[in-house]
Structure 1
Amino acid sequence: MPSPAIDDYLKTVYHHTEWQTERITPSQLAAELGLAPSSVTEMVRKLAAQGLVTHRPYGPISLTASGERRAAAVIRRHRLIETWLVREFGYTWAEVHEEAEVLEHAISDRLLAGIDERLGFPRFDPHGDAIPDVEGAVSREPFVVLADAPPGHCGRVLRVSDRIPGLLESLDAASIDVGTVICVRGPELVDVDGRDVTLPATAPDAIWLTA
């Protein structure tokens, strides 16, 4: 049965391992959702009983095939809505997340399909996150996190985290967006079209480049 609470859990587990391989722990899941660990433990038990996740006490959490399909469907709705709001309504990439959190539970499958078609079946949202297709499949290029890129590495921005307050606005001010080519000079210093740009301290762990 549809349940925003269940969908939020599955979406958070899915999102955690999109760009790295470490599985999410119950304490990390509680922190991400802003809930008490005891509440998360109880819900994870319910999700496991429904065949949506696998989990052993105090161990990390993984989505089952069924859980991943459901999570991908919710992620697809969220990211298509974000893309729609930016392209059709003039929202910035820093403004769309909260709106999409509300709308993803409200619009019909028919409307979502219409949005997808109108947008030309986009593969990525405004932050560079892959939009799953109707089967749940995604495609990504080889990547490196900016923090791990050596000096001299030049790459196109593939993705920027939308979870760090103020970061997207700072990148806007520096004319850095998904698709911008940057060359690494130091931990927080990059070259953008011949300009030296000093990034916020939060940026190196929140920007993904082509490898």
Structure 2
Amino acid sequence: MDSPVADDYLKAIYHHTEWQDSPITPSQLAAVLGLAPSSVTEMVKKLAAQGLVTHRPYGPVSLTPAGRHRAAGVIRRHRLIETWLVREFAYSWDEVHDEAEVLEHSLSDRLLEGIDERLGRPRFDPHGDAIPDADGSVHREPFVLLAEASIGHAGRVLRVSDRDPELLRALVENGIDVGHELEVLSDDVVRADGTEVALPTGASSSVWLTR
């Protein structure tokens, strides 16, 4: 099964466990993809038959080694394209996700390799997400979600979720960006590069720091 639809499922499953350990349930997968649970159940069965996921009735869905390798390949494409758009075409980090969703299915492997080489083989995309190597391996520092960081914790912003473009813009306006230093002062206030700022709504569950 080689289709953009299957790739979207594999990406969603991969994303779910990228920054936390709990496997995704069919209902969570349906919510992420915006599909009816019955449609998700049918596709999960097809993916399982292809050896790409493991799943038991009413249980979570996990990628097999083959499924993880394929998902990493698609995610590699997506994140390289996002990085390319930001560096070469002056896109802002809140604009690239939808463009990459379209382009990831149309670029040839040769062009993707050329983009990777031109960019200097980056390890992270503009949001701080790791770009898998060609073999599917990733390199990431130990991390903690901002919402779970203790008062007084100080660390560098490793990653910001790209789910909400409006939140991305609000974070930048407050000096919170990948690579910037944060110190947790309270549940809703941080010091960003030395300046005390109130966190925008939703920020604590969308920002990851070095542990």
2:113 maps to 1:125:
no
Q: Which structure 1 segments of 5+ residues have no match?
A: none
How far 1:165 sits from its partner (Å)? 4.5
Once residues 208 and 37 of structure 2 are traced to their aligned partners in structure 1, the CA distance between those partners, rounded to angstroms, is 30
- The change in CA–CA distance for 1:190 and 1:93 in structure 2 (over 3 A counts) is same
1:13-56: CA deviations, max 9, x gaps?
A: 00100000000000000000000000000000000000000000
Q: Report whether the alignment pairs 1:2 with 2:2.
A: yes
Q: CA deviation at 1:188?
A: 1.4
The structural deviation recorded for 1:166 is 1.3
Q: Which amino acid aligns with 2:120?
A: G
- The aligned length equals 211
Distance apart, 1:194 and its partner CA: 2.4
Matched, 1:12 2:12: yes
Partner residue in 2 for 1:46:
46
* C-alpha deviation, 1:201, in angstroms: 2.3
TM-score normalised according to structure 1 size: 0.98
Q: What CA deviation, in whole Å up to 9, does each residue of 1:104-148 have, x standing for no partner?
A: 000000000000000000000000000000000001101111111
Residues 58-69 of structure 1 aligned to structure 2 (within 5 Å)? 58-69=58-69
2:94–2:165 contact (8 Å) kept in structure 1 = no
Q: Among the aligned pairs, what percent are the same residue? A: 71
Give the 4+ runs in structure 1 shifted more than 2 A. none
- Matched to 1:84, the amino acid is W
SS of 2:204 mapped into structure 1:
coil
Residue 183 of structure 1 corresponds to 183
Match of 2:76 in 1: 76
Please list the CA deviations of residues 81-109 of structure 1 after superposition, one character each: whole Å capped at 9, or x if unmatched: 00000000000110000000000000000
Q: Which amino acid aligns with 1:88?
A: E
The answer to whether the 8 Å contact 2:72/2:136 transfers is yes
Deviations 1:155-192 (A, max 9, x none): 00000001135110001111221000011101110012
Aligned to 1:168: 168
TM superposition score normalised by structure 2: 0.98
Partner of 2:55: 55
Could you tell me how far apart the structure 2 residues matched to 1:104 and 1:180 are?
29
Who is 1:115 aligned against? 115
**CA distance in 2: counterparts of 1:149 and 1:13, whole angstroms:** 25
CA distance in 2, matches of 1:69, 1:108: 18
1:42-78 superposed Cα distances (whole Å, 9 cap, x missing partner): 0000000000000001100000011001000000000
Letter in 2 for 1:191: R
Q: Is the 8 A contact 2:77 2:112 kept in 1?
A: yes
Shift of 1:200: 1.2
Gaps of 5+ in 2: none
Q: For residues 23-38 of structure 1, what are the structure 2 equivalents within 5 Å?
A: 23-38=23-38
Is 2:95–2:165's contact at 8 Å kept on the other side of the alignment?
A: no
SS in structure 2 of the partner of residue 12 of structure 1: helix
CA RMSD, Structure 1 to Structure 2 (Å): 0.8
Q: How does 1:132-143 map to 2 (within 5 A)?
A: 132-143=132-143
Residues 1:201 and 2:196 are matched in the alignment: no
